[in-house]
Chain A
Amino acid sequence: MKINEIQNQIIEEFSIFTDWMDKYQYIIDLGKNLPIIDEADKKDENLIKGCQSRVWLICSEKDGKLFFKADSDAIITKGIISLLIRVYNEQTPKDILDSNLHFIDAIGLKANLSPTRANGLVSMIKQIKIYALAFAEKDVK
């Protein structure tokens, strides 16, 4: 599925919730269901800078597509990053770099996060794009 199709799917899923507490419960459940990562991957070099809670993001490439794994000590943060992973997993570095994330605003996520967590969200997206850029450059070489 293309990045935009996945985003639209997420927007539709969130549209059934009218109350933000329900949206949060959904995000929390996503966080709980995010596959756990190896303790060995929870090392400082995988930590995202600029997040108040600790977030580890690991990226690998297979057949020109990127695969992401992540973990956090905060469950809401974990839920949010699971949405990002869902959007970006199995996409090419080029598609990731060209993408425009509209689902975050559409579901009202950014406006409903505390400023520190909203900054953390920006840092997560930035880190995903940095990985994509690194792999895109590797492909060129």
Chain B
Amino acid sequence: METKNIVENIRKKFPALAQQMNGQPLIYLDNAATSQKPLEVLELLDKMNAKVNANVHRAMYQLSDEATGLYEGARERVRQFINAPDRENIIYTSGTTASINLVAASFCQKYLMKGDVIVITADSHHSNIVPWQLAAERIGAEIRILPIDGRGALRIDMLDKMLDSKVKIVAATHISNVLGIVNPVDKIVQIAHNHNIPVLIDGAQGIVHVHVDVQKMDCDFYAFSAHKIYGATGVGILYGKSRYLNEMPPYMGGGDMVGTVTYQKTSYAPLPLKFEAGTPNFIGASALKPALDFAASVREGEVGEAVKASEQEIIKYMLNALPNEIGEVEVYGLPEGKVSSQASDDTGDKIPLFSFNIKGCNAGDVAQLLDKMGIAVRTGLMCAEPLLNSLGVTSVIRASFAPYNTLDEAKKFIECVKRAKKMLM
């Protein structure tokens, strides 16, 4: 089958894509914020809300068993998807943010002392900055930043020297939500492990675009959200190595996370439940199974090849059209080996995510006009204010693509940006 037909078939699974916005066919290019959901996910959510709605892990009746089965089945699917050694390494949370907060609070409480250091990467989302700042303030620890170079790639060459005996953890971004560059996280882990320092990877964008094998990567923690990978909102995953998860104190207390409770003292449930206090979002979590099945289906075989080809085509087109067709455009985050905005065949470490500004045009104005033309993009600080500061801007326009987006949509997008620019200049 032709690439175009395969992508069209994928689109058919997404009812959200078939609607209009402001009287125009919706072109949804805000996938880095949240992806749309395929029919399989919507059907499972519907089925569970309507029928299989019974609390998990608690009751002795069929419905509860069925809900527990779907909930734990999805945990197994996650384990398999990232090749974690055991289900106990997969903690359900409410999202990447909650996953990182959990580690920042519990890990730092256990392993950090006053004067210790946390290293984070300069391309971090606020979710990989603020939780560490909160922990550092509580403990009296310091935060050190691994900087980026001119194109936005991490200065990996500087990492080794930064890691002295005071550094207790490295928290690195897998793929920046602004730059769309895949960081060499394997190397980061290797360098940190040479100093016996564990590494957390913020995989909010990474899990969507890169095949993640946590054992091969050897990271100590990996955090991601379900809603960016075709799943439900309010669900996230924290992968953690058993040795840390066992030693770390619980993050929240409540039901389902306990062994025995007296009014004086409580023993905790074994992993993973130790970190899952209270009734979880079991319906949303269960939807991770069909969501990850879908994610795998667009990476494998003929479909996978077609999706990859389509993405490469979109990346090449966009990196050429943004500066050359629109003109006076600055693109943030260019692929490796590409130092200017000239056309290139090499998409390298770039994912189909494009942050840019047009000289003399306010990003919010452009987005407002695009909205009227049916195009959904993100503008603003991207929850990465320090990174935008270092890029010297207060706002960017970001178009982020998913496997269901077509080259035709990219072309329409460029046409519409051209029109917006003409109106604004």
Contacts and interface: CB of A to CB of B under 8 A. Distances in A.
6 contacts: A20-B22, A25-B423, A28-B365, A28-B423, A74-B365, A114-B368
A97 B369 CA distance: 33
A75 B363 CA distance: 10
B364 interface: yes
A112 B367 CA distance: 13
A98 interface: no
Nearest to A76: B365
A57 to B, nearest CB: 17
Contact of A76 (B22, B368, B380): B368
Given A20-B22, A53-B364, A75-B362, A28 B372 contact: no
A117 B368 contact: yes
Contact of A21 (B362, B364, B365, B369): B369
Contact of B380 (A24, A52, A73): A52
Contact of A24 (B362, B364, B369): B369
Binding site secondary structure of chain B: helix
A113 B373 CA distance: 13
A77 B372 CA distance: 16
Interface string B359-403: 000101101110111000000100000000000000000000000
A28 B364 contact: no
Interface string A20-33: 11001100100000
A84 to B, nearest CB: 17
A75 B372 contact: no
Interface in B406-425: 423-424
Contacts of A76: 362, 364-365, 368-369
B321 to A, nearest CB: 22
B368 A21 contact: no
A43 B343 CA distance: 42
Interface in A93-131: 112-114, 117
A53 B381 CA distance: 11
Interface string A46-61: 0000001100000000
Nearest to B361: A75
Given A20-B22, A28-B423, A52-B380, A75 B371 contact: no
A52 B364 contact: yes
B373 to A, nearest CB: 8
Contact of A20 (B365, B372, B380): B372
B372 A113 contact: no
B362 A73 contact: yes
Contacts of A25: 423
Contacts of A113: 368
Contacts of B424: 28, 75
Given A20-B22, A25-B423, A53 B372 contact: no
Contact of B372 (A21, A73, A74, A117): A21
- Residue from A25, A76, A113 with most neighbouring chain B CB atoms (10 Å): A76
A24 B423 contact: yes
Interface string B316-333: 000000000000000000
Nearest to B371: A114
A75 B380 contact: no
B319 to A, nearest CB: 27
Contacts of B22: 20
A11 to B, nearest CB: 20
Contacts of B423: 21, 24-25, 28
Interface in B305-353: none
Given A20-B22, A25-B423, A52-B380, A74 B369 contact: no
A4 B50 CA distance: 53
A24 B424 CA distance: 10
Interface string B14-46: 000000001000000000000000000000000
Contacts of B364: 52-53, 74, 76-77, 117
A75 B371 CA distance: 16
Interface string B232-264: 000000000000000000000000000000000
A24 B371 contact: no
Contacts of A21: 369, 372-373, 423
Contacts of A74: 362, 364-365
